[in-house]
Amino acid sequence: MPSFHHGDVEIAYLDEGEGDPVVLVHGFASSKNVNWVYPTWVSELRKNQFRVIAFDNRGHGDSGKLYDPEDYHIGTMASDITALMDHLGIARADIMGYSLGARMMGVLAQSRPERVRSAIFGGLGIGLVKGGGPGENVAHALEAPSLDDVTDPVGRTFRAFADQTRSDRRALAACLRGSRRLMTEAEAASIAVPALIAVGTTDEIAGSAEALANIIPGAEVLDIPNRDHMRAVGDKVYKEGVLSFLSRRA
């Protein structure tokens, strides 16, 4: 698996296919494989003539692990995206993030629009501005001695997922505490690149896709029927909607 260094952090990535580049940014406690390879996103995009780049966020997967929350500021994590693009000589790309990855991508779309051809917010609606999702309860769950010690239902979900993916739970807790800065409504309203907001209709973590679309000028909404935050990732409607959006974006 190729990797590069962004400052002191080693970032593992994959780069497959030919065509317009699409950068995929996974969610909290996940990885490039769990979010994008296993649910066949990489193969599906390649089949549709895209060059697919996906990486493990700092603290996740095969990338470097850090234990100070300050190392996971959302702006710092977003800069890992452009650092990888620079490493690969990519000036501009379509970027799709899921959950935490969508927050990272949103920061980039707002602050460095010249690098973002289009922005796809997966698993994140008005939560980008209003908050929600995993909080200190999840950090405590990750630090608990075992899953049996976790009583909070949301904490149990994320702890079980972290155990399943064999994640470094201490690094994840630091990431969670360091990356929680929200975007202001004014910042979200200044996003000017083509945007798609794709959220499961039973997702109680992302917040309303419509509410975010009312803030980001010209944003489109893709409802993923009967899918929650965890199960929307590999959904067929999600894939078809993204491919349609990419075929229509400027």
The DSSP symbol for 3 reads E
Q: Is the separation of the CB atoms in 49 and 21 below 8 Å?
A: no
Each of the 250 residues of the chain gets a pLDDT tens digit; together they read 899 999 999 999 999 999 999 999 999 999 999 999 999 999 999 999 999 999 999 999 999 999 999 999 999 999 999 999 999 999 999 999 999 999 999 999 999 999 999 999 999 999 999 988 788 999 999 999 999 999 999 899 899 999 988 999 999 999 999 998 999 999 999 999 999 999 999 999 999 999 999 999 999 999 999 999 989 999 999 999 999 999 998 6
Specify whether the CB–CB gap between 63 and 10 falls below 8 A.
yes
pTM of the complete model: 0.96
Q: Look at residue 133 in the predicted model and tell me its pLDDT.
A: 78
Instruction: Set out the domains of the chain in order of their start, with CATH numbers.
Output: 3-131+181-245 (3.40.50.1820)
Helix (H) or strand (E) segment spanning residue 116: strand 116-122
Q: Give pLDDT, residue 134.
A: 83
Cα separation, 249 vs 247, in Å, equals 6
- The phi-psi region of residue 57 (left if phi > 0; otherwise alpha if psi is between -120 and 50; otherwise beta) is beta
How do residues 128-161 score in pLDDT, each as one tens digit?
999 887 889 999 999 999 999 999 998 998 999 9
Cβ–Cβ < 8 Å for 107, 75: yes
Could you tell me whether strands 116-122 and 220-224 are parallel, antiparallel, or unpaired per DSSP bridges?
A: unpaired
Cβ proximity of 60 and 29 under 8 Å: yes
How many angstroms separate the CA atoms of 31 and 167, rounded?
Answer: 9
Structure tokens that stand for 239 in this block? 């894939």
pLDDT value, residue 146: 95
Q: Which residues contact 136 (CB under 8 A, 6 or more apart)?
A: 177
